[in-house]
Amino acid sequence: MIQIKKIFHRGDYRIAIYFPIDAGLKKKVRQAGAVWSQTHCCWYVAYSKEKYNELQVIFPEIKVLKDETDTSQTPADPDPAIIPPGNIASGILPDPDNPLPPAVSHETATVPVYGNWEGKLKLHSDIGKYWVLGIPYIEKTSKALLSIKGVYWNKKESAYLIIRHITVKTKVEALLGISNVLPANYYKSTEEDQYSTGEMIAGIHTTDKKTIKLTVPAVASLIQQVKRWQGVRFSKTDNAYILPATPDILINLATLAAQTGTRLVNQLPKGYVRKEYAPNRKKIKFTIVLDNLQKKTPVQAQTYVNAMMDYLMALNYSASTLRNYTDAFLNFLHQHQYKNPDDLTAVDIVKHLAKMMYNGLSASTADTLINALMFYYRNVLKRENFEIVLPRPKKEKKLPGVLTMAECFSIFNAIKNPKHRLLLLLGYGAGLRLDEIVNLQWGDILMAEFKIHLKAAKGNKDRIVMLPFSIVSYLENYKQLHEGTTWVFEGQYAGEAYSPRTVQQVMHNAVIKAGLEKKASVHTLRHSFATHLLEAGTDIRYIQGLLGHSSISTTTIYTHLTNTAVKKVQSPLDNMMNKINDKRKLE
């Protein structure tokens, strides 16, 4: 016999199926199209009359349990004989062959409510002045929750941050249609400061007079904003965030305080902040990369990894190369239990590469590892004649996606925000990479010469590209509206460049609004720029220079994408059929 019950799962009602551990019954429910739910520890099918009738045909004996949406009394639980109780403390995860109830984490409590939300709401440990509540995603519910002042979405926790105030608690519980979901440990404050998140204290940093020591309340949403600023780092010694002592940072702190209802306490003496204290952009990139690499490097590998990073920086390799080479080298050391690389042989390296390929890693990843190892053995260990006698892994040759001119136009036309439209127009019109778009400064735009001077682009190379005539007046008007800014596309806070992730989102939204079925990114505009130039008859050597390719072979890939070249070539099948048709006409 099986037991069935109505449940709410993955945003809709389902028929839950419970039965004793039995291979034959398991096979039958699969034939009915049932899927295993680890959340509810049961099999389930769609909640429909057709599925119910199908289950009655397959199983002659069915016991229907109480509908869980009826809140007049506690919903009936499945027969203990049908689902073994198991040992919750054992921590054994449920699986379809041994359906045990889910283990309860000491960090997360299941909120005991019924109705549509039964077993669905997870109340996590508090973060500062916030309750943390996990709720299954339903679009209408999510929009309604976020419209309540004091409720925020936290991506890291995958949960809602709800400020611990009685007014907010009442609104959230009323929206969900249930009471006592949130505990009573809320802050009792006056109406004026009910949404206040505390104080941010900006003081002098005794170790480095060019920086500010900022103490921030333990509020996740506030900390996330501070961490976004350029040149910010956290000091465990000071238990505070260290920021560049610049006027822009003070403006950003005042803006953030106004947005979040936080009180800003400025303890800095007059003249402490200066514009010249702004950190070098290259230094910021290296600081971020070095911090991330050092965090993931275990103690036993620090000697080898630090030596490699020192040589890479001394030889002026870019921050991205530093990250890629060190990551590959760290993975190699990990696979060999962090032994001294000087004791490893070429045979060990070949075995490691073979294992990488077997695990399905790309040829480009293997190529990076070979370059990293060659660099380490030749530069750090001073084995100048070191060579990995192995053909480089064969790379997959993939053609980049390209848009037609009509499709590019439809994307630009779908954007209403002038700033968003301009950055995509520049990306396509000059063939720029994503980083090159967001790092553009007004000093790089040579309006009178119709040129753009790209500095320290990929490979630490400068290059001159065209500035399209059609957007010069557009750019001049835009500049008048943004007087006094360094960046062409300034970010949310003063003195910051635009976020690359935001540009990607702008492109993604524009493609959807334009109704295109193709997958297209910001880099697709660059591919389209090169392809359209080639179709117009531009010499491939000029295109190579505009794109900043070191090798002409990289640029020649666009010859496979041009419609003009393809149209000139006729398939032998078409040629044969044309001759047959001509012969028939003559007959």
Tell which residue, 461, 79, 454, 494, has the closest CA to residue 273: 494
Active-site residue flag, 205: no
Residue-by-residue DSSP string for 224-246 = HHHHTSTT-EEETTTTEEEEE--
2 in Cβ contact with 59 (< 8 Å): yes
Token pair in block for residue 363: 């040829």
Which residues of 524-571 form beta strands (DSSP E)?
A: none
Which residues of 31-158 form beta strands (DSSP E)?
A: 35-37, 42-46, 62-64, 108-110, 122-127, 130-134, 151-154
Active-site residue flag, 453: no
Q: How many CB atoms lie within 10 A of CB 228?
A: 14
Tell which residue, 29, 117, 1, has the closest CA to residue 68: 117
Which one is catalytic: 44, 130, 160, 558?
Answer: 558
Please provide the size of the chain in residues. 587
Angle at 65 between CA 61 and CA 69, to 5 degrees: 145
Token pair in block for residue 27: 């096979």
Strands 233-235 and 12-18: unpaired
Helix 418-430 to helix 472-481 angle (10° resolution) is 140
Which one is catalytic: 165, 526, 527, 532?
Answer: 526
Burial readout 380-400 (b: 16 or more C-beta within 10 A, e: otherwise): beeeeeeebeeeebeeeeeeb
Cα(523)–Cα(505) distance, integer angstroms: 13
Which one is catalytic: 458, 479, 508, 513?
Answer: 458
Which one is catalytic: 129, 433, 527, 532?
Answer: 433
Cβ-based neighbours of 508, under 8 Å, separated by 6 or more: 521
Residue-by-residue DSSP string for 511-532 = HHHTT--S---HHHHHHHHHHH
Per-residue three-class SS string for 153-210: EECCCCEEEEECEHHHHHHHHHHHCCCCCCCCCCECCCCCCCCCCCEEEEEECCCCCC
CA-based R_g, the chain, Å: 31
Q: How far is CA 285 from CA 253, 282, 288, 549, 559, in A?
A: 22, 5, 5, 23, 35
> In terms of DSSP H, where are the helices of 271-360?
281-296, 302-314, 319-335, 346-358
Residue-by-residue DSSP string for 345-370 = -HHHHHHHHHHHHHTT--HHHHHHHH
Cα(273)–Cα(204) distance, integer angstroms: 10
Tell which residue, 550, 509, 554, has the closest CA to residue 395: 554
Cα(551)–Cα(539) distance, integer angstroms: 15
Which residues on neighbouring strands pair with residue 466, listed in sequence order?
451
Active-site residue flag, 383: no
Q: Position of tokens 């491939």? A: 540
Active-site residue flag, 63: no
Active-site residue flag, 526: yes
Active-site residue flag, 549: yes
Catalytic residue positions, numbered: 433, 458, 523, 526, 549, 558
